Amino acid sequence: MIEELHIRNFALIDETTVQFREGLNILTGETGAGKSVLIGALGLVLGGKADSGSIRTGCDEAEISAVFTVGTQEIRSWLSDHELDADEENLIIRRKIKLSGRGSVYIQSRPFTLAELGELGKLLVDVHGQHDHQSLFSIEQHRRFLDKSGKLENENRRVQTLFNKLKEKTEEIRVLTESLVNIEKESELLNHSIREIEDAALKEGEEEEIRNSLRRMEQAEQIYGTIDGLLALLPENRGGALSSLRRGMELLEKLKEMDPGSSGLAERYSNAFYELEDISDSISSLNDELSFSPGEKETLEDRLAVIKKVLRKYGPGIEDVLAYLEECRIKIDQLDNSTDRLDALGSERDELEKELIDNAMRLSDARKKAGAALEQSVLAVLKTLGMPSSEFSVGITQKTGDQGQALCGLNGLDRVEFLFSANKGEPLKPLKEVASGGELSRVMLGIKSALAGSDGIPVLVFDEIDAGIGGEVGSSIGRHMKKLAGFHQILCITHLASIAVYADNHIKVRKTEHDNRTLTDLFPLEQGQKVSEIARMLSGDSEGDASVSHAEELLRSASI
């Protein structure tokens, strides 16, 4: 609820503070006293559009501040979402308007934007009358009112949950499909790369081994010549070195027989001879090993070409090629797995879509029933509020696309709009096209009466709800407001005594002159003052015996 409103340098108000109470707060005063100024100031502190022309003449700025009791979870959630203490008992909003056109907004002493203030303001107060802050002009609010009246919020949240899940699933399918398109474009190249690398059957060290073999083959003629030269020196025939050395070993053996002291020398000579003989055999073996067939070099060169081609395309090294091969295999597996995943997601999406439509259709049926009940409740109230010939209808139509197909949105299949006709014989039209301020306020009173305790906005403001009605209807309006004030704090500006007598808190708006300047101030009325004000409203005479007596009787009747 709103506890206090402080206004400084706004319109005709120099500076004033007005206290509000729970229940029904009635504001009265003579025509032109400035009652609408109060609603204008309240609208500004709730995020309404500012006009520097509303700053009091001679001043550079105006300031309006308000103190609210934090009552609903929605308000606490907003505070928490904006990093304010949601456990605070009071909420303080302050707004400044400057002649320069610039201004400032503070919520709990922290600066905020005007848009953020507007968001919070919609959670705090609903104003109905000649001002812009009217939820009846919002089609989306009509749907909310209907769901509240039929206690369908849980069903609507279920539809919202399914809709968001379907949206997420559809987006997942879109992303995966795009990914698959890219992978499918690569798949032929990937498979070709896999085949090429696998067919190459690369081995670590193979390239260097082949290069060494080819180098030996290219130098084979020189190697053969060198080996032949060595072997020509060593043969045991044709006076070769080994033949001569063998003759020397035979002579040393004879010497050892004649001179035993030379046995060591004979042994050393023998060892050297056998080592050289072994070397000669090894050279002969090396010559045999170097022999190769004419096609072997070509085979090695072809193999080397294959290795170089694969390394050039996928290298630079064999490790890089093998890593790329594994990457290709993973992508191909992803393609196969993603195709299966896409099929599974499609099935999940179809199931979600069916579940969403089923729930949305049930919600639509429930809305139609709730709409019929709301129509009857509102019409019953309107007939007691001086609008016996009015018609009120909850229009529920199906959302459709460009081709006429049914569409299901976040809140289901339905487009909900309240339709109204003030006079018999006139067609039903959207509320904002046909309802005057007073009519609109009474329609809202009817809706709020039908919703009673299910509506979460804590403060309702009714401006000019009594336009064009008389005392008997005014009394009915007062009773309805009194009843509704058991669920909401209500602020009501009225000219009718038959409404004012139901006030829990009666505030007088008065215009005075001081130092050749006109001022507006506000003050709560005590019981005796209430009688005088009601008497003034009845006949313009606040002290006449008949007026005072009538006022006292109305106040007694209202208190029963």
Identify whether residues 198 and 319 lie together within a single domain: yes
Average the pLDDT over each of 57-61, 189-193, 379-383, 514-518 and give the range with the smallest value.
Answer: 514-518
pLDDT tens, position by position, 163-181: 999 999 999 999 888 877 7
490 DSSP β-pair partners: 24, 460
Identify whether residues 196 and 308 lie together within a single domain: yes
Other CB atoms within 10 Å distance of the CB of residue 325: 19
- pLDDT value of residue 132: 41
* Alpha carbon distance 345, 350 (integer Å): 9
Residue 159 inside a domain? The answer is no
Q: In what order do the strands lie in the sheet with 391-398?
A: 391-398, 414-421, 429-430
pLDDT bin (cut points 50, 70, 90) of residue 131 is very low
Tokens 């474009």 found at: 185
Nearest to 521 by CA among 178, 119, 7: 7
In the chain, the number of structural domains is 2
Identify whether residues 205 and 295 lie together within a single domain: yes
Identify whether residues 201 and 282 lie together within a single domain: yes
Q: What are the CA-CA distances from residue 38 to residues 19, 81, 237, 416 (Å)?
A: 12, 30, 136, 33
From the CA atom positions of the chain, what is the Rg in Å? Answer: 51
Nearest to 234 by CA among 283, 195, 161: 283
Identify whether residues 90 and 189 lie together within a single domain: no
pLDDT tens, position by position, 344-381: 999 999 999 999 999 999 999 999 999 999 999 889 88
Residue 253 inside a domain? The answer is yes
Residue 122 inside a domain? The answer is yes
What φ, ψ does residue 106 adopt, rounded to 5°? -130, 130
- The bridge status of strand 24-28 relative to strand 489-493 is parallel
* Alpha carbon distance 10, 285 (integer Å): 118
Identify whether residues 192 and 313 lie together within a single domain: yes
- pLDDT value of residue 179: 79
pLDDT tens, position by position, 394-453: 999 998 877 767 789 999 999 999 999 988 888 999 887 876 767 777 887 888 888 766
Identify whether residues 186 and 306 lie together within a single domain: yes
Of the chain, the end-to-end C-alpha distance in Å amounts to 25
Other CB atoms within 10 Å distance of the CB of residue 380: 13
Tokens 């006009």 found at: 51
Question: What is the share, in percent, of the chain residues with pLDDT greater than 90?
Answer: 32
Other CB atoms within 10 Å distance of the CB of residue 337: 10
Nearest to 107 by CA among 118, 97, 98, 99: 118
Identify whether residues 220 and 292 lie together within a single domain: yes
The residue-averaged pLDDT of 112-139 equals: 79
Domain harbouring 55, CATH code: 3.40.50.300
- pLDDT value of residue 369: 96
* Alpha carbon distance 285, 303 (integer Å): 28
Residue 135 inside a domain? The answer is no
The residue-averaged pLDDT of 467-493 equals: 85
Q: Write the CB contacts of 217 (distance below 8 Å, at least 6 apart in sequence).
A: 292, 296, 297, 300
Nearest to 518 by CA among 35, 13, 51: 13
C-beta separation of 12 from 34 below 8 A: yes
Nearest to 460 by CA among 11, 126, 6: 126
Domain boundary among 290, 315, 332: 332
Question: What is the share, in percent, of the chain residues with pLDDT greater than 70?
Answer: 91
Identify whether residues 86 and 10 lie together within a single domain: yes
Taking 70 as the threshold, does the pLDDT of residue 483 lie above it?
A: yes
Domain boundary among 299, 332, 365: 332
Identify whether residues 243 and 123 lie together within a single domain: no
- pLDDT value of residue 234: 65
Predicted structure pTM score: 0.64
Which amino acid appears at position 184 of this protein?
Answer: E
Q: What is the DSSP letter of 135?
A: G
Residue 376 inside a domain? The answer is no
Q: What is the separation of C-alpha 114 from the centre of its chain, rounded to a whole number of angstroms?
A: 21
Residue 480 inside a domain? The answer is yes
Identify whether residues 206 and 313 lie together within a single domain: yes
C-beta separation of 97 from 55 below 8 A: yes
Tokens 């808190």 found at: 505
Q: What is the separation of C-alpha 20 from the centre of its chain, rounded to a whole number of angstroms?
A: 38
Residue 413 inside a domain? The answer is no
Q: What are the CA-CA distances from residue 21 to residues 2, 318, 488, 490, 545 (Å)?
A: 8, 85, 11, 9, 31
pLDDT bin (cut points 50, 70, 90) of residue 531 is very high
Residue 317 inside a domain? The answer is yes
Q: Which domain holds residue 238?
A: 182-332
Q: List for the chain the helix, strand, coil content (%; round to 5).
A: 60, 20, 25
Nearest to 5 by CA among 36, 35, 45: 45
Handedness of CA 354, 359, 363, 365 (dihedral sign): positive
Domain boundary among 282, 311, 332: 332
Taking 60 as the threshold, does the pLDDT of residue 130 lie above it?
A: no
Identify whether residues 113 and 191 lie together within a single domain: no
pLDDT tens, position by position, 493-528: 988 999 999 999 999 988 887 777 778 888 899 988
Taking 90 as the threshold, does the pLDDT of residue 58 lie above it?
A: no
C-beta separation of 399 from 363 below 8 A: no
Helix H or strand E segment including 67 = strand 61-69
